[in-house]
Amino acid sequence: MTSLADFTATSLDGEEVDLARYDGQVALVVNTASECGFTPQYEGLEQLWRTYRDDGLVVLGFPCNQFAGQEPGDEAEIARFCTARFGVTFPLFAKVDVNGPDANPLWAWLTSGPDGVPAGDVEWNFTKFLIGADGRVVGRYRSRTEPAELAEVIEAELARAGDTLRERRTARG
């Protein structure tokens, strides 16, 4: 089974990050943009991160310029904007393509319909994919879905992840 742990990504500061570091965590993967009508969702994503990170959630932001050129800045500009305007502290990565022949491998996998999640191109910025701690894609959410609307499903996945971790510990003795 392919999972988030099978991919790498480049951080905003150019470091190659093995996404296996998030193995066992619930991950919310989002394509972002600084000049989009949905850009204020950064605030809600940060709130989810701050609320649930100690419980095992990680929010992973992937800037993308494929939709009306709404992410024109370079990585340093993106970092400054996200920090200054929205106080973003969750991990952000270098700009990627999420669709087409140059799609980042992680995004090619996410849009391929893994685990029965609807396949197809990302339609716009701030599309969200929720990945369970077991690596399976739990859901795909459109741009209009506000981050706060995902709290219940995130809490359910975190609870399931906690149950799975307890079972693993018990099995190990």
Residues acting as catalytic residues: 36
CA–CA dist 71, 125 (Å, integer):
10
Rounded to whole angstroms, how far apart are CA atoms 82 and 49? 14
Neighbours of 48 (CB within 10 A): 18
